[in-house]
Structure 1
Amino acid sequence: MQFENLQTPAASYAPARNRVLRNTYMLLGLSMIPTVLGAMIGVRTGFSFFAGSPMIGFLAFLAIAFGFFYGIQRFKNSGVGVALLLGFTLFMGLMLSGILRYTLHFSNGAELIALAAGGTGAIFVTMAGIATVSKRDFSNLGKFLFAGMILVLLASLANIFLALPALTIAVSVLCVAIFSAYILYDVQQVVNGGETNYVIATLQIYLDVYNVFVHLLSLLGIFGGNRD
């Protein structure tokens, strides 16, 4: 009786999963370069999608973003998908410039941005670490997180017209919590083999990290911004 070559499904799939996770992390790190570049260009040029009509700007942003999503999904198995993903992160860097300019108006603005970046990094490392080592299945979180995301999207749209400070704070707190949990969910999807394409995995995790940073920076600006 011979037992060599006997492998469990989990063991046989492990190398492929590790490769997807490694490529995802590498591409995620690479995506930060065009994000920072786009943010620098936006800050220097005063770029804003929302200077005229916030609603029209929001709809234009959605149209461009979903155009990128379609292209990335269609070409996810080729270098074109990677190029589109990096183009999308450049675009998102431009979109980031508005909150960066606002924060830099504070005398401690640079410190707040660094603190938000550090906090986002800590959240990512913690959630990704839990997703990698935990034996618990977090896949059932998906439907609840999606419902929460729809809720905050509707609240954000309403606040364009209401401009309520309390609602702004509530939305940012919820977004930090929801997208932190999404990091856990999306990383574990790769670890467990639920997502096998590293381009799509990178897009999902990038959006999680991006939203955590934006809303954490917003909260830091509200509660820690120094106008002196």
Structure 2
Amino acid sequence: MIPSMQHSYDLASVQATRHKVLRNTYWLLALSMIPTVLGAFIGVTMQLPMLHGGMGFLLFLAIAFGFMFAIEKTKESGIGVAVLLGFTFFMGLMLTPLLRHTLGYSNGGSLIMTAFGGTACVFAVMASIATVSKRDFSGLGSWLFAGVIVLLLAMVANIFLHMAVLQIVISIMAVGIFSAFILFDVQRIVNGGETNYISATLSIYLDVYNIFTHLLSLLGIAGGSRD
């Protein structure tokens, strides 16, 4: 085969593989929303008790990281999909306190839908930019990781401080950081840096989940009505 033809064939094959990973990631991401909604529905309607305070937060992190470790260990098989969906169900349950609080407002339902729509818009815009832009966003990785560490420390501090202003700052930071993470994570797939669609889905799911929760928190603070 002529070298130039071989190169073109190899390039087309690589692009096809990356497109398949991206397509499978989006399909699995959409599927992961079903157990998330189911978990949230069960948590709210059955009024399941949720852990609060510092110990509750640490237990949540332990379970969440346990799930993520299991997902990474099983990502090369269909079991990884099942574990991922189990994780998204758990994360749906963890929405219970925020959803209960929001539904306590007279306009709680509309706030939830606004947060959902806003999250969808942020995802669509950032994913589109990551897909078509020629700019390299890989340099964001270390900065975003540092931002997440600062965010976690601020969240732990506010468990004890209960400062409304700090909560607003945390939520604004989180929306910005995880919006940028969508750019980073989607472009990693497009550029071939991530070749496993289960791992890719986990990363983007966490981005979307955090944007939704912190956007909903901001909407509740700014526009929640008790009338």
TM value normalised by structure 2: 0.96
Following superposition of structure 1 onto structure 2, how do residues 10-159 of structure 1 map, counting pairs within 5 Å?
A: 10-51=11-52, 54-159=53-158
- 1:48–1:98 Cα contact (<8 Å) kept: no
- Counterpart of 1:187? 186
Letter in 2 for 1:82: V
Q: Structure 1, residues 102-129: CA drift from partner, whole Å, max 9, x if none?
A: 0000000000000000000000000000
Q: Structure 1, residues 15-66: CA drift from partner, whole Å, max 9, x if none?
A: 0000000000000000000000000000012224324xx1111111111111
- 1:47–1:98 Cα contact (<8 Å) kept: no
| Alignment: residue pair count | 226
3-state secondary structure, aligned to 2:48 = coil
Residues 190 and 48 of structure 1: is their aligned pair in 2 closer, same or farther, counting only changes over 3 Å?
farther
- Counterpart of 2:210? 211
3-state secondary structure, aligned to 1:5 = helix
- Whole-angstrom CA distance in 2 between matches of 1:16 and 1:6: 15
3-state secondary structure, aligned to 2:226 = coil
Higher mean Cα deviation, 55-64 or 86-95?
55-64
- Counterpart of 1:164? 163
- Whole-angstrom CA distance in 2 between matches of 1:4 and 1:40: 54
- Whole-angstrom CA distance in 1 between matches of 2:10 and 2:173: 38
3-state secondary structure, aligned to 1:34 = helix
3-state secondary structure, aligned to 1:130 = helix
Letter in 2 for 1:28: L
* Runs ≥4 residues deviating over 2 A: 1-6, 8-12, 47-51
Gaps of 5+ in 1: none
Q: Structure 1, residues 152-191: CA drift from partner, whole Å, max 9, x if none?
A: 1000000000001100000000000000000111000000
- Whole-angstrom CA distance in 2 between matches of 1:203 and 1:10: 27
Gaps of 5+ in 2: none
- 1:49–1:58 Cα contact (<8 Å) kept: no
Residues 138 and 48 of structure 1: is their aligned pair in 2 closer, same or farther, counting only changes over 3 Å?
farther
How large is the Cα RMSD of the aligned pairs?
Answer: 1.3
- 1:48–1:95 Cα contact (<8 Å) kept: no
Letter in 1 for 2:207: D
Identical-pair percentage:
62
Residues 48 and 193 of structure 1: is their aligned pair in 2 closer, same or farther, counting only changes over 3 Å?
farther
